[in-house]
Amino acid sequence: TLERLHDALLKSPLSAVKAKYRRAQCRSGMYPPKGPTFKGAVTWYTVNLDLPPAKRWTDVMSDKKDDVSVSSRGKSRHDGLFSEFGVSACLGQPLLLDTLPFPFNEEIRGISAASGVPLGEVLLFNIFYEVFTACTSVVAEDSNGHLFHARNLDFGLFMGWDVRNKSWLMTEKLRPLVVNVDFQRNNKTVFKSTSFAGYVGMLTGIHPHAFTLTMNERFSLDGGYIGIMEWILGKRDGMWMSFLTRSVLENATSYEEAKQKLSQTKLLAPAYFILGGNQTGQGCVITRSRVLSLDIWELDRTLGRWYVLETNYDHWKEPLFLDDRRTPAMKCMNQTTRANISPKTLYDVLSTKPVLNKLTTYTTLMDVSEGRLESYIRDCPDPCMPW
Ligand SMILES: *[C@@H]1O[C@H](CO)[C@@H](O)[C@H](O)[C@H]1NC(C)=O
Ligand SMILES: *[C@@H]1O[C@H](CO)[C@@H](O)[C@H](O)[C@H]1NC(C)=O
Ligand SMILES: *[C@@H]1O[C@H](CO)[C@@H](O)[C@H](O)[C@H]1NC(C)=O
Ligand SMILES: *[C@@H]1O[C@H](CO)[C@@H](O)[C@H](O)[C@H]1NC(C)=O
């Protein structure tokens, strides 16, 4: 019956549309960002790591308070960003908060205090990113061995569809919360990240001149829910994935050190870590189960592998045919060629549908040796795939 379902879906109009997009033309000339798929550049904030954790996010939150509380406290109780998570009433979150590692627990407390959003909702906002993010990430090396790392962050699947606006409610609410953060110690940048106001983990970041890192969700039967349930029930030997990426961005000083930590730390849920270094050959996709690294797929000059690209499927398996962002993205990477890869052409690849879709919240481009991170809020007006 599964096969029959698969066949039926293949014949459905939806898959015809998908097939159309698979044949879609690669975009070009999209950069510098403009037009209807570009909703604005992302604002920069500084977070001072020398401050006590509860004070670090005060500036960001006082600026974004309205967006956060509008999303959190929409017209009806069920209109809110954080209340999309529904379960917020039933977890006894303050207790759960106490189990989270320092400094994340304190930072979450500070965010709640500065924004007026109840602690439990901020907490859930922080937890549920861990398991609902679809994305496309790519690390590529040009002909001179110069590395670039780029990503689309897609978020909000199945969290409510706005029929009138033909958009995902959650994605709409998140766009105003996208921020670029410069994390400093002694007034010097330690790392930079594209994030969401109110979120303390990291999904996208650069440790300038050393490495770049993004995280994509990995769906698996042994998925996030089990690990998170275990955490709630008291078995707490795994690490939250986005806390690991944050701690790696903050503390690791080289590609090799980052790679080792990302592949060897026990996690609460499976994930893909996409890591770029600062010299030729340093780029990989680490496919993680909760316990171990299943595979490390690296750049390889001898094999002509000048980029590694990850969506939300193991690279050695076919992507789900209804969600194939990998084939068009790779097609466009191949068409671009190694000689022409740059932040500009990576933006083109990430602007090609359905790599760009209605869940796409932001696009980030990183250049490790320049220490540069730039990001853009995205939109995908019709015709555009919902995911
Ligand atoms: C739908 O779009 C309109 C016009 O752009 C906007 O004013 C409204 O807030 C949108 N609705 C939601 C739920 O985002
Ligand atoms: C950081 O810079 C500010 C203003 O330039 C200065 O007041 C402060 O003392 C500096 N802090 C450190 C730790 O150097
Ligand atoms: C690359 O990173 C290593 C480890 O952080 C550092 O020692 C080296 O100087 C970096 N190289 C460049 C070219 O930035
Ligand atoms: C892109 O090129 C790689 C390496 O030559 C090849 O394995 C892959 O099938 C190509 N993908 C597409 C979609 O063209």
Q: What are the pLDDT digits (tens) for 148-168?
A: 999 999 876 655 677 777 777
Q: Is the CB of 162 under 6 A from ligand 1?
A: yes
Phi-psi map region of 156: left, alpha, beta (phi>0 left; psi -120 to 50 alpha): left
Q: Which two tokens stand for residue 57?
A: 């996010």
Helices (H), 337-367: 343-350
Residue 126: per-residue pLDDT: 84
180 Cα: distance to centroid of ligand 1 (angstroms): 24
pLDDT at residue 179 is higher than 70 = yes
CA angle 149, 150, 155 (to 5 degrees): 140
Q: Is the CB of 48 under 6 A from ligand 3?
A: no
Residue 129: per-residue pLDDT: 66
pLDDT at residue 318 is higher than 50 = yes
Inter-residue contact 328 to 24 (CB < 8 Å) = yes
- Give the closest residue to 288 by CA, choosing from 350, 322, 238: 238
From atom 6 of ligand 2, which residue's Cα is the shortest distance away?
187
For the CA of 252, the nearest ligand: 3
For the CA of 170, the nearest ligand: 1
**N- to C-terminal Cα separation, the chain:** 25
Residue 205: per-residue pLDDT: 98
Q: Is the CB of 186 under 6 A from ligand 2?
A: yes
Confidence of residue 230 (pLDDT cuts 50, 70, 90): confident
Q: Is the CB of 338 under 6 A from ligand 4?
A: no
The yes-or-no answer on residue 284 being catalytic is: no
- Give the closest residue to 117 by CA, choosing from 165, 35, 185, 173: 173
How far apart, in whole angstroms, are the C-alpha atoms of residue 77 and residue 69? 12
Phi-psi map region of 188: left, alpha, beta (phi>0 left; psi -120 to 50 alpha): beta
Residue 231: per-residue pLDDT: 76
188 Cα: distance to centroid of ligand 2 (angstroms): 10
23 Cα: distance to centroid of ligand 2 (angstroms): 54
- Give the closest residue to 128 by CA, choosing from 174, 82, 95: 82
Calculate mean pLDDT across residues 77-104.
Answer: 60
Out of 135, 284, 332, 380, pick the active-site residue.
135
pLDDT at residue 301 is higher than 80 = yes
pTM of the model: 0.89
Q: Of residues 341 and 130, which shows the higher confidence score?
A: 341
For the CA of 319, the nearest ligand: 4
252 Cα: distance to centroid of ligand 3 (angstroms): 12
Pairing label, strands 147-155, 360-367:
antiparallel
In the chain, pLDDT over 90 holds for what percent of residues?
59
pLDDT digits (tens, 9 = 90+) for 23-70: 778 999 999 999 999 999 999 999 999 999 999 999 999 998 888 765
Pairing label, strands 178-185, 44-48:
parallel
Q: Supply the mean pLDDT for the chain.
A: 86
pLDDT at residue 83 is higher than 90 = no
From atom 5 of ligand 2, which residue's Cα is the shortest distance away?
187
Q: Which residues of 133-168 are buried (b: 16+ CB within 10 A; e: fewer)?
A: bbbbbbbbbbeeebbbbbbbbbbbbebeeeeeeebb
Calculate mean pLDDT across residues 332-337.
Answer: 97
374 Cα: distance to centroid of ligand 3 (angstroms): 21
Residue 67: per-residue pLDDT: 82
Residue 184: per-residue pLDDT: 98
Q: Is the CB of 305 under 6 A from ligand 4?
A: no
How far apart, in whole angstroms, are the C-alpha atoms of residue 158 and residue 149? 28
In the chain, pLDDT over 70 holds for what percent of residues?
83
The ligand 3 atom nearest the CA atom of 278: 1
